[in-house]
Amino acid sequence: MKYVPGKTNAEETAVTRASAPSPVHPMSQAPAQIGPAASAQITAERGTRARVARLILEHGPVTAAALGERLGLTPAAVRRHLDALLAEGMIEPRTARPRGQRGRGRPAKLFAITDAGRSAFVHAYDDLAGSALRFLSERMGVEAVSEFARAQVSGLVSRLETLMREVPADQRVRVLAEALSAEGYAASATKTGQGGEQLCQHHCPVAHVAAAFPQLCEAETEAFAQLLGTPVQRLATIANGDGVCTTHVSSHALAGRQARIHESSTSTSKETGR
């Protein structure tokens, strides 16, 4: 998958689409018409709204209370920005699934990014990329698409493979997540109860193309396994309609034990067959 560096003005791009003031709002006039003080206020509002949208993209689904805590905003301020983002179709409300015994009160409302909101953060050349891959597939076959996908992701491997050899095994997923985030993929790494880790990518600029050509996701998964030096398994992808691309990374200790068990089993089978 081709990694496109995130634009430094990604938040402003999202805000331009997501936070245009309402016609009945007192700040609905253009900045040039209302003077420098009001213009500065509009700019500040847009910047804050971009931060709200970005947090939902990276950490959603998330509650309004959590957003307020992260940004230091009052409930009223958070609600104002959420209402604007909802009106523009940049985010959507969801109801939190109850865990265990349901307590009193209404379930917490969560806010998640929509496809429109996600696409506002980058320039995604979906149509051109999709047409090029369809042309390649029709002229040279589906294997040519796989080769193209592996060639594209090889750039990530070449940039990180030396670093990964120097990083302790238990730090590699975090380093990979940081590298992906630096290139616009809003990635994070979390430990799991089984001793492994989960690598989550909250954004994918080529999700629509990958939906038609899963070879892009497959090549990316292969690259992760190569860089991390341990088996990985894709659990969910944005291209498949999930909210986040989630990859389970086996712990090196567990992978080593499984390899030894496999070798032992293979050796026993060979001896039995004599």
Q: Quick one: 243 and 169 in the same domain?
A: yes
> In total, how many domains does the chain have?
2
b (16+ CB within 10 A) / e for 202-216: bbbbbbbbbbbbbbb
Q: Quick one: 250 and 232 in the same domain?
A: yes
Is 196 domain-assigned?
Answer: yes
pLDDT of 2 reads 45
pLDDT of 257 reads 54
- According to DSSP, residue 247 is labeled E
Q: Quick one: 236 and 130 in the same domain?
A: yes
- The CATH number of whichever domain residue 72 belongs to comes to 1.10.10.10
Q: Quick one: 65 and 47 in the same domain?
A: yes
Cα gap 95→62, rounded to integer Å: 10
Q: Considering the entire predicted model, what is its pTM?
A: 0.54
Q: Give the SS3 label for residue 44.
A: helix
Q: Quick one: 131 and 90 in the same domain?
A: no
User: In the chain, what are the helix, strand and coil shares in percent, each to the nearest 5?
Assistant: 60, 10, 30
pLDDT of 15 reads 46
- According to DSSP, residue 240 is labeled G
Q: Quick one: 117 and 239 in the same domain?
A: no
- The CATH number of whichever domain residue 194 belongs to comes to 3.90.1520.10
CA 96 vs CA 102, 111, 236: distances in Å: 11, 10, 19
Is 273 domain-assigned?
Answer: no
Is 216 domain-assigned?
Answer: yes
pLDDT tens across 213-269, in order? 999 999 999 999 999 999 999 999 999 989 899 999 998 665 555 444 445 454 545
Low-confidence ranges of the chain (pLDDT < 50): 2-32, 123-124, 258-262, 264, 266, 268
- Preceding amide of 26 cis, omega within 30: no
Among 200, 177, 188, which residue's Cα sits nearest to residue 247? 200
Range of the domain at 170: 126-258
pLDDT of 29 reads 39
Cα gap 145→134, rounded to integer Å: 9
Cα gap 80→73, rounded to integer Å: 11
pLDDT of 154 reads 92
Q: Quick one: 138 and 117 in the same domain?
A: no
Q: Give the SS3 label for residue 120.
A: coil
Q: Quick one: 224 and 137 in the same domain?
A: yes
